[in-house]
Homo-oligomer: A and B are copies of this chain.
């Protein structure tokens, strides 16, 4: 159900993890949430139902973001039929698991770029002219971009993912450089830890997912509802205090720039410093 008096929050990549929780949070804050995802109409409708059960307003659509014209059409349709998109979340990942170079076919590498880099470009291309126009009268315009550790450094097996996410981060910087002074805010969020996301990590791990979560513990895996609070905060920073880049991780995780905890720090707090320091 749509409510044309509300600003729209558009989510591309609306699974039961980050995307769905962000939709719930923004809907609770007064937005109409438009949720797009690749497949699983039933799952999508469940999310719409959840938002509505919480007293919010939402609608959903299936979308193959890699397809020519799909993102562009979604933006046009949303703005025409539902309302002005004041905040958007680009939440598509391109993680395919670790694969050695010779197990990473050309088409997989290209698809990674198409979903993780090109899609952000296409969304900005379609959405920002309207946002810039509205910003002239003081309206908010925010693009939240869920990103990954691979945007900061390339690790073994991550050829496709890291190349695509590295492009994503640099693109977010060029977008801010051009559009921040025009009133459109892009926030690049490095999610540097596992997220409790049944539709992505859950499917990647399959029947090992529950054991993985058990081992990490409730506080050891990012709660997408908590991350949604950070997204809400970022999207509503006033113009004189905008964040471009931020990271999040569970307290029990080492940051991407660190090694795993060094077993060589012994109980007396003194140890051998590794060759890396």
A residues lining the B interface (CB < 8 Å):
95-104, 106, 109-110, 113, 117-118, 121-122, 124-125, 128-129, 148-159, 161-181, 183, 185, 192-194, 201, 204-205, 218-223, 226-227, 229-230, 233, 237-262, 264-265, 268-277
Query: For the complex, would chain A's binding face be called helix, strand, loop or mixed by DSSP majority?
Result: mixed
Complex Cα distance A175/B101, Å?
8
Contact (Cβ within 8 A) A95 B277: yes
Q: Which B residues are CB-close (under 8 A) to A246?
A: 243, 245-247
A225 to chain B, nearest CB (A): 9
- Write 16 A-B pairs (CB below 8 A) sorted by A numbering: A97-B271, A103-B269, A121-B163, A153-B173, A156-B258, A156-B265, A158-B177, A159-B174, A161-B277, A162-B170, A166-B170, A205-B272, A226-B237, A229-B241, A239-B251, A241-B249
Contact B118 A101 (CB under 8 A): no
The one of B99, B117, B265 that contacts A167, using a Cβ cutoff of 8 Å: B117
Q: Are B101 and A178 neighbours in the complex by a CB distance under 8 Å?
A: yes
Which residue in B124, B244, B256 is a CB contact (below 8 Å) of A101? B124
Among A121, A122, A262, chain B packs the most CB atoms within 10 A around the CB of: A121
Question: How far is A262 from B260 in the complex, measured between Cα atoms in Å?
Answer: 12
The residue on B at minimum CB distance from A228 is: B241
Is B167 touching A155 in the complex (CB atoms < 8 A)? no
- Extra A-B contacts (7), CB below 8 Å, given A153-B170, A155-B258, A243-B246: A102-B269, A113-B113, A166-B170, A183-B251, A204-B272, A205-B272, A233-B233
